[in-house]
Structure 1
Amino acid sequence: MISRLLFLALFFSSGLQAALREESVSYQAGGTTFKGYLAWDDAKGAKQPGVLVVHEWWGLNDYAKQRAKMLAELGYTALAVDMYGDGKSSEHAAEASAFMASVVERAGVSEQRFAAAEAFLKRQPSVDPSKIAAIGYCFGGATVLNMARQGGDLAAVVSFHGNLATKTPAQPGKVKARILVLNGAADEFVSADSIAAFEAEMARAGADYRFVNYPGVRHGFSNPDADRLGKANNLPIAYDSEADRQSWAAMQDLFRKVFGK
């Protein structure tokens, strides 16, 4: 009996582990090769909603990939997007800033790279191309918000400690996605004026949005590496486990409403 139970335990454990798939992938945009990370769960069935995960200014690192894996465990096919090309990442602020500037300071580059990643995700056999969302962290949060502002065909976007300022505010009736912004109230990179401007912009645009401000929480609150990276780079960022938990739950609640799961 014991050996039979052990066999069954090993069998089902192996089956569950095998259901979660992870794959390094590449795709092209503007003559540049991008190296993303795709995660999905075969046991959840075909034609799952797809979620794009846009990294912090550090680049496509293990943190962004872990978030994609967590989404796969929830039943989504997730693509951790490479916005810098060749899967570049850094733990040095100056280098990360240069990477980010190479994208945001050139007109149309961010949009082109996001669109290429979205098209790649929609082509995956496990994805329902009519059900796409995007989440982003820091630089990535600003990126997904801007895609929503421009009328991207996204069901929902979620920004975790992302910049709210924009040079291209949403126009009335333009925003299709439901928007969730998760912000640390003590984030030194997001001013009270930028929050007020964002909320006024969303109201004028008629967007379906929700803004959550976590009291006493600083920039980078969702990333367990924030304390280490902040200390190494002299940046006012810090992890907050409770804000991390609450923000991830808020994202899941929005996705349940949008996708019915």
Structure 2
Amino acid sequence: MRLWTALAMMGLASVAQAEVKTQTINYQSGDGTQLVGYYAYDDAIKGQRPGVLVLHEWWGLNDYAKGRARALAALGYSAMAVDMYGKGKNTEHPKDAMTFMMAAMKNSTAAAQRFDAGLAQLKKQPQTDPAKIAAIGYCFGGGVVLDAARRGEPLVGVVSFHGMLATKIPATPGSIKTKILVEHGNDDTMVTPDSVVAFKSEMDNAGVDYKFVGIDGAKHGFSNPDADRLGKGKDAPNIAYDKAADQSSWADMQAFLKKVFG
């Protein structure tokens, strides 16, 4: 009994020592922008594991995006929240967020280079299996990962949460080589019903392996607990947190990642 007790205590101590580790990664994109990524992994896992990029909302690389990276790390992935604005800047003001987003998307080549720079950094981490990379994105970031898929980026899967569906680079047959999951709020006024119809038509015509989940009652930003606060006041967007939608979409993502990573 004493031996088993001692072994159990050793096991508990090992679990206690294992934790999600995080670090800031400074890097540069092909367009010369100085970027700041946030990397997370569970040090209890030995060797390489699949990697997941996290693309932030239009607010920028904030604590919410970083929290999602840590949550993915806790699930056993090598996760990096990438910076699409430069110098890790973020805001809580809608006008500033719009300015940041428009500036980032003004040059599609530069936007692609920033995504690619984050992807390269994630692949460089010793914990990452560079052959197994997926990307998830929220709001603005959802549009970013969908466009990455449209460009034929070497990803095994992408997930968009209340993401922008419209694009300047629509998919063509064979252009998308990855599986796609879209989690969309059916009460999202920032993504029109016409955009939903156009997106599904685009995917169908291009022969894409995708799943579109429409969540009744969910508005834009449904996955972010801060959405209720950020959706108040003058110039605030029509966003709201929905706990049930958050939980169901996260569960869908977990099942999707397990499938695409094999």
Match of 1:105 in 2: 106
Kept in 1, the 8 Å contact 2:15–2:44? The answer is no
Distance 1:153 1:13 in 2: 34
Aligned CA-pair RMSD: 1.8
- Alpha-carbon displacement from aligned partner over 1:177-227 (angstroms, at most 9, x marks no partner): 100000000000111111111011001111000000000110000000000
Q: Percent identity?
A: 54
Match of 2:150 in 1: 149
Match of 2:22 in 1: 22
Q: Give yes or no for the alignment of 1:87 onto 2:93.
A: no
Q: Give yes or no for the alignment of 1:249 onto 2:251.
A: yes
Residues 177-256 of structure 1 aligned to structure 2 (within 5 Å): 177-232=178-233, 233-256=235-258
Greater CA drift, 104-113 or 170-179: 104-113
Match of 2:140 in 1: 139
Give structure 1 regions of 4+ aligned residues with deviation exceeding 3 angstroms: 4-10
Kept in 1, the 8 Å contact 2:52–2:80? The answer is yes
Match of 2:115 in 1: 114
AA in 2 matched with 1:202: M
User: How much has 1:167 moved relative to structure 2?
Assistant: 1.7
Distance 1:23 1:164 in 2: 32
Q: Give yes or no for the alignment of 1:174 onto 2:168.
A: no
Q: Secondary structure at the match of 1:195?
A: helix
Greater CA drift, 89-98 or 44-53: 44-53
Q: TM-score of the superposition, structure 2-length normalised? A: 0.94
User: How much has 1:14 moved relative to structure 2?
Assistant: 3.1
User: How much has 1:175 moved relative to structure 2?
Assistant: 0.5
Could you list the runs of 5+ residues in structure 1 that have no partner in the other structure?
none
Q: Secondary structure at the match of 2:232?
A: helix
Distance 1:243 1:60 in 2: 22
User: How much has 1:159 moved relative to structure 2?
Assistant: 0.2
Match of 1:163 in 2: 164
Q: Give yes or no for the alignment of 1:11 onto 2:17.
A: no
Q: 1:222 to 1:113 in 2, by over 3 A?
A: same
Q: Secondary structure at the match of 1:108?
A: helix
Kept in 1, the 8 Å contact 2:18–2:42? The answer is no
Could you list the runs of 5+ residues in structure 2 that have no partner in the other structure?
none
AA in 2 matched with 1:234: A
AA in 2 matched with 1:107: S
Match of 2:42 in 1: 41
Kept in 1, the 8 Å contact 2:94–2:236? The answer is no
AA in 1 matched with 2:16: S
Q: 1:5 to 1:122 in 2, by over 3 A?
A: closer
User: How much has 1:53 moved relative to structure 2?
Assistant: 0.1
- Alpha-carbon displacement from aligned partner over 1:7-28 (angstroms, at most 9, x marks no partner): 75872453133xx211011111
Distance 1:130 1:180 in 2: 20
Q: TM-score of the superposition, structure 1-length normalised? A: 0.94
Q: How many residues align?
A: 257
